[in-house]
Amino acid sequence: MNRLSLLLALIVGVLVGVGSTWWLIDRGHRDMPATAAAPTEKKVLYWYDPMVPAQHFDQPGKSPFMDMQLVPKYAGDAPEDAGTVRIEPRLVQNLGVRTALATRGAPTASVRATGTVTFDERGAVVVQARVAGIVEHLAVRAPLTTVTADQPLLTLIAPEWTAAQAEYLSLRAARSEGLDTVRAAARQRLLLLGMSEGQIRAVERLGRAEDRITIVAPRAGVVSELLVRDGASVAAGTPLLRINGLDTVWVNAAIPEAQIGRVAPGNAVTLDLPAFPGDSLAGTVETLLPDLDVTTRTQTARIVVPNPARRLVPGMFARVAITGRAGDAEVVRIPTEAVIATGARQVVIVDAGDGRFRAQEVRVGDESDGHTSVLEGLDDGDRVVLSGQFLIDSEASLAGTLARLDVPDTGASPATTAPPRYSAEGTVKRIDGNAWFVATDAIPALEMGAMTMTFVRPDTVPVDGLGVGQRVRFTFVRNANGDFEIATIAALPAGGTP
């Protein structure tokens, strides 16, 4: 009896609990505010076909243009600008996209080039024979020998010098009056024949003519050319040696043709030489040589560099950085790596925020120090993509957008410009002459799902034996008649895409 009573009590307790719970839930529903009874639905403005977005419909249904359902357009949806695509933030992060702000500033005419150290030819001296003679002895016997001022270079036997000395000594010893002018003329002749003041005074002191004359270095430097040897006969005016100084040197820098306009005489220059790592030397652009190398398309800038320690010698390699004055007008500048050269156009990918990107055509100016001036197309504060531009193009199907930008500006109307090209895959369902019915997979670039579409195949597009039931990969455009026209088509191997 006790067990039966316990069982009945348990059943009654369960029934009472279930009833109480049901009553509480029902009361909670009755007490809930009316605003929470149903979620707020977006208002549909109209329905449209993504392939013909300009045509609007008041009711949902099947598109009269394609084998697909119309898509609703809701109120409050942010309109997408032409050429703008949206990518999930997670995908953007996985692509490693880097961005930078476009900033406004005055560009500097900075040029980097390479150069070679050469002699300063303005300080070159050519030692030559003033009279005919014979080289008796060379004191400098090898080119590139360093010499000092007044250092003996060679001994020359010159009968004309001996005769001129004897004539001067005779006039100097004569006691007749009125010979002062003749004596002065005879002494001046010795100077013109190449004798120095010291040599003439030595002749006056000794009172006899010297049959050998020693020629000395007129300046300190390097014997860059040695043109005679012992025993050589020389005529009047024959070059004997060439001496170049090292107090200053030239650096001939090869300036690319596209950057010649940034270089002007007087520009300051900084040089780095591998021979002296860590040391920077200063110089000045003296002139741009009026000659362009047609092979390398470079023009030579002559840079004058002081060389008091004479460490720089001809043939040394130098890295040159030429800095001109800043431009008068401020322009928008972006990192050069953001610019995509498509051939006839320059394009940058602009980060519009919230995962939206757009391809923007720009007109660029000078490039220096890793930055490019943008003359048109960007504003100060725009954020441009530095890395991952081509991955964005691939992942977001921007090929159509970039293709639209890569149309020459001929002034033609939009209807006459090249249409964008789209890629798709699908299965050939039916072929009726030039009309091909293809069950396409989803086409993200057009925001279209899988459907059967009709395409026109021109006779100029080869089909390579394609038939009904085959999987194909193809590209298509919308032609002037508004039809989808196949541009290229090829069979896919069995089992999927290659």
DSSP string over 118-145: EE-GGG-EEEE-SS-EEEEEES--STT-
Distance between CA atoms of residues 253 and 301, nearest Å: 5
Q: Among the listed ranges 61-75, 139-153, 384-398, 444-458, which one has the minimum average pLDDT value?
A: 384-398
**pLDDT-derived band of residue 4, with 50, 70 and 90 as boundaries?**
low
The answer to whether 471 and 426 have CB atoms below 8 angstroms apart is yes
pLDDT attached to residue 326: 56
Strands (E), 199-345: 212-216, 221-226, 233-234, 239-244, 248-256, 268-272, 280-293, 298-306, 317-326, 331-335, 340-341
Distance between CA atoms of residues 32 and 117, nearest Å: 90
Distance between CA atoms of residues 319 and 310, nearest Å: 19
pLDDT attached to residue 498: 43
pLDDT at 7 over 70: no
Which of the two residues, 334 and 463, has the higher pLDDT score?
334
User: How many beta carbons lie within 10 A of that of residue 431, not counting itself?
Assistant: 15
Alpha-carbon dihedral angle through residues 70, 76, 81, 82, given to the nearest 10 degrees:
10
pLDDT at 391 over 70: no
Q: What is the pLDDT of residues 303-328, one digit of tens each?
A: 999 998 889 999 999 999 998 765 55
The pLDDT of 430-447, averaged and rounded, is: 84
**pLDDT-derived band of residue 269, with 50, 70 and 90 as boundaries?**
very high
pLDDT at 396 over 50: no
pLDDT at 286 over 90: yes
Distance between CA atoms of residues 71 and 364, nearest Å: 41
**pLDDT-derived band of residue 39, with 50, 70 and 90 as boundaries?**
very low
pLDDT attached to residue 285: 94
pLDDT attached to residue 145: 92
Q: Is the dihedral of CA 443, 444, 445, 448 positive or negative?
A: positive
**Angle, vertex CA 449, rays to CA 448 and CA 452, nearest 5:** 100
**pLDDT-derived band of residue 464, with 50, 70 and 90 as boundaries?**
confident
pLDDT at 100 over 80: yes
The pLDDT of 338-352, averaged and rounded, is: 81
Distance between CA atoms of residues 28 and 332, nearest Å: 62
The mean pLDDT value of the chain amounts to 79
**pLDDT-derived band of residue 399, with 50, 70 and 90 as boundaries?**
very low
**pLDDT-derived band of residue 76, with 50, 70 and 90 as boundaries?**
low
pLDDT attached to residue 152: 92
pLDDT at 251 over 90: yes
pLDDT attached to residue 315: 94
Which of the two residues, 145 and 88, has the higher pLDDT score?
145
Residue 11's contacts (CB-CB under 8 Å, 6 or more residues apart) are none
Which of the two residues, 479 and 35, has the higher pLDDT score?
479
Coil vs helix vs strand at 432: strand
pLDDT at 74 over 60: yes
User: pTM of the predicted model, to two decimals?
Assistant: 0.52
pLDDT attached to residue 494: 65
Using a 10 angstrom Cβ sphere, with 0-12 exposed, 13-18 middle and 19 or more buried, the burial of residue 96 is exposed
Which of the two residues, 35 and 294, has the higher pLDDT score?
294
pLDDT at 415 over 50: no
What percent of the chain is predicted at pLDDT more than 90?
A: 23
Distance between CA atoms of residues 342 and 405, nearest Å: 9
pLDDT attached to residue 151: 92
* Angle of helix 197-206 versus helix 180-192 axis, rounded to 10: 130
**pLDDT-derived band of residue 11, with 50, 70 and 90 as boundaries?**
low
The answer to whether 360 and 348 have CB atoms below 8 angstroms apart is yes
The residue assigned the tokens 């303005």 is: 122
pLDDT attached to residue 33: 47
